[in-house]
Structures are given as structure tokens and as C-alpha cells.
Copies of this chain bind each other. A is one copy, B any other.
Amino acid sequence: MNKVILIGRLTADPELRFLPGNGRAVSNFSLAVDKDLSRDKKQEFEQQGKPTADFIRIVVFGRSAENCANYLAKGRLVAVDGRLQTRSYENAQGQRVYITEVLANSVEFLEWGDNNSAGNKRENNKGSNDSMDFSAAEGFQPVDDDDIPF
């Protein structure tokens, strides 16, 4: 069992890449998920310049990746359901870097507001629907780290 459920806001517009081998779409973004702080603790953290959120990397594949890239933008509120994944790679300095991230099964859009930070997002969306689920589950197969150029 490996389940993660997050509700948070995108810290930046999502990235979109395509896997070299099969052209499969991959989207990456980070979520700011508010820490569970009391009102007092939150103030204290803010005053001390300490983060009041956790920043968590999300990866999505396939059509869900494309939907994220097309409809989401910095600041948007989403619910992510997925699993924790660890990867490692060699960086430019030859050091092994360890990554823990959430491989999303589905990304649910919780807002279809107009406060859109990225002017180019959210064309042709369904409009009235405020909770559309673009599942990433369709036939997902785990992918070689080596295929992923980032």
C-alpha cells in the first residue's frame, strides 16, 4: 500500500515533456500544501520567515499530464491522488541526488476561477464544471528513470 492524497496550490506553471522512447507526455509541478499549524504557530513561522507550507513534487503521465499543462497554472488549487516514489540520478557534479515525489494517478481541479495567473491557460475548458477529473491511470506502466531527462 502506497497512497498519497494532497490538496494544494501549484507553485509555478506546470512543465510538459515527452519521453524520448515512446513520446509519452510527462508533466511536472510542485504543490504548496499548507502545514497543519495553529493560528499562533502560523504567525510565528511567518514572522521568523519559515515556510508555512510543504513543497511537494508531482509527476503525471499521459493525457492527465497534457491536461495539467493545458488547464493548470501557478496558484491553482488541485487535489492529487497518487503514490510516493523515490528516484535518484547523477547530477552535473557527479553526485547522486535523491528525489522523493508523488506519482499522480489523478489530478482533480478544484477551481475554475478567473484569477488566472497565466494568460495562456484554460482555453477550451468545459466551463461550468468545477471538479473535473483527468485520470492518469489509463494503462500506466512504470517507466525507466533513464528515459526521463530531468
Candidate in A1, A8, A100 with the most chain B CB atoms within 10 angstroms: A1
Inter-chain contacts of A101 with B (CB < 8 A): 100
Bound state CA distance, A85 and B33, in angstroms? Answer: 9
Number of A positions contacting B (CB below 8 A): 40
Residues 39-78 (chain A) with a chain B CB within 8 angstroms: 41, 50, 54-57, 77
How many copies of the chain does the oligomer comprise? 4
Which residues of B are found within 8 Å of A79, using beta-carbon distances? 1, 7, 79
A124 within 8 A of B: no
Q: Is residue A19 contacting chain B, with contact meaning CB distance below 8 A?
A: no
> Is the pair B142, A33 in contact by a Cβ cutoff of 8 Å?
no
- A33 and B133 contacting across the interface, CB-CB below 8 Å: no
Report the Cα distance A83→B36, complex, angstroms. 10
CB distance from A106 to the nearest CB of B (A): 8
B33 touches A2 (CB 8 A): yes
Q: CA separation between A34 and B37, bound complex, in Å?
A: 29
| Cα separation A144 to B5 with both chains bound (whole Å) | 25
A4 in the interface, Cβ–Cβ < 8 Å?
yes
Return A10 CB to nearest CB of chain B, in Å: 14
Q: Which B residues touch A13, using CB under 8 A?
A: none
Q: Is the CB of A84 within 8 A of B131?
A: no
Given pairs A54-B83, A54-B85, 13 additional interface contacts (CB within 8 A): A1-B108, A2-B36, A3-B3, A7-B108, A7-B110, A7-B131, A34-B131, A36-B142, A54-B84, A56-B84, A77-B130, A79-B79, A100-B100
